[in-house]
């Protein structure tokens, strides 16, 4: 791809500082890095991924209402964190996190454990313990 052909689709980056680096061939035939404001194909892939995440979050919300899932599971899914990643961020074993995804066990957590989860998810403990809107 030539430098002038690097995509500049602003769907996800408009108004943000975030940009991608693409590599393209300059007029001398050398590879060079070029700042790209996005690419429509990449934006469509992100749309599909975000739709799947929203669907998963909606399913978890229903289970929260039924009293079987905890808000921890919802906020982890919303932040695209699986049990392994959440375990690495918090230092809490995966088997415990699986249990904490169930309301029965989550409701018994102490403030220190809630604070670890909230910090890893970049939310407050109040948000973590509140039903999502």
Q: What is the pLDDT of residues 48-71, one digit of tens each?
A: 988 999 999 999 999 999 999 999
Q: What's the pLDDT at 94?
A: 98
Q: What is the mean pLDDT of residues 99-126?
A: 97
Q: 34 and 59, same structural domain?
A: no
Q: 95 and 60, same structural domain?
A: yes
Count of structural domains within the chain: 2
The pTM of the full predicted model, rounded to 2 decimals, is 0.72
Q: What's the pLDDT at 40?
A: 72
Q: Residue 7 domain-assigned?
A: yes
Of 27-41, 85-99, 115-129, which gets the smallest average pLDDT? 27-41
Q: 55 and 26, same structural domain?
A: no
Q: 14 and 57, same structural domain?
A: no
Residues 130 and 71 sit within 8 Å (Cβ to Cβ): yes
Tell me the per-residue pLDDT of 12-43, one tens digit each, with 9 for 90 and over.
Answer: 545 555 567 778 888 888 888 887 766 677 77
SS (H, E, C) the chain: CEHHHCCECCCCCCCCCCCEEEEEECCCCCEEEEEECECHHHHHHHHHHHHHHHHHHHHHHHHHHCCCECHHHHHHHHCCCCHHHHHHHHCCCHHHHHHHCEHHHHCCCCHHHHHHHHHHHCCCHHHHCCCCC
Q: 62 and 18, same structural domain?
A: no
- Kindly tell me if the per-residue pLDDT of 117 is higher than 60: yes
Q: Residue 96 domain-assigned?
A: yes
Q: 18 and 67, same structural domain?
A: no
Closest CA to 71 of 120, 118, 122, 111: 118
- Kindly tell me if the per-residue pLDDT of 89 is higher than 70: yes
Q: Residue 133 domain-assigned?
A: no
Q: Residue 111 domain-assigned?
A: yes
Residues 24 and 30 sit within 8 Å (Cβ to Cβ): no
What is the extent of the structural domain holding 111? 48-128
Q: What is the mean pLDDT of residues 112-128?
A: 97
Please indicate whether residue 41 or residue 124 has the higher confidence score (pLDDT): 124
């Amino acid at each position: 791809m030539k430098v002038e052909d690097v995509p500049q689709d602003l769907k996800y980056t408009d108004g943000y500082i975030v940009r991608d680096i693409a590599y393209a061939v300059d007029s001398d035939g050398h590879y060079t890095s070029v700042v790209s404001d996005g690419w429509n194909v990449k934006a469509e892939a992100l749309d599909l991924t975000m739709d799947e995440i929203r669907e998963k979050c909606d399913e978890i919300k229903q289970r929260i209402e039924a009293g079987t899932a905890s808000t921890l599971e919802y906020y982890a899914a919303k932040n695209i964190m699986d049990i392994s990643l959440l375990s690495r961020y918090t230092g809490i074993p995966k088997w415990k996190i699986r249990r904490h995804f169930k309301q029965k066990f989550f409701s018994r957590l102490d403030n220190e454990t809630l604070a670890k989860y909230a910090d890893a998810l970049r939310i407050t403990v109040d948000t973590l313990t509140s039903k999502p809107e």
